[in-house]
Amino acid sequence: MSYSDATSETIAARGEEIYQQYREELETQHKGQFFVVDIETENYEIADEDLEATKRLLAKNPKAMTYGVRIGYPATHGIGFGFVECNVEYYNDNREN
């Protein structure tokens, strides 16, 4: 099957299907690392950083159709915010107009 015209939904579904094949082994041995797979060949790389795994996979096949996931987590990266204390008077007095 060729995925050259695949939608993001098709890529994600195929990538998740492949991940599930290896899930138990991956989550016991590599939890927290990144799993990046070529959905056409099913070749994959595991690394501490998603970009590192992707680069290694693309070095093997520059035309790879990739899907990545953080092993053992529902999302690859956290999204959030935190409060930082700052001196508002100082900021207002020293900002450029």
Listed by start position, the domains of the chain span: 8-94
Neighbours of 93 (CB within 10 A): 8
pTM attached to this predicted model: 0.74
> CB within 8 A of 39, min separation 6: which ones?
3, 6, 11, 14, 15, 18, 65, 66, 67
Q: What per-residue confidence (pLDDT) applies to 34?
A: 95
Residues 26-75 have pLDDT tens digits of 999 999 999 999 999 999 999 999 999 999 999 999 999 999 999 998 76
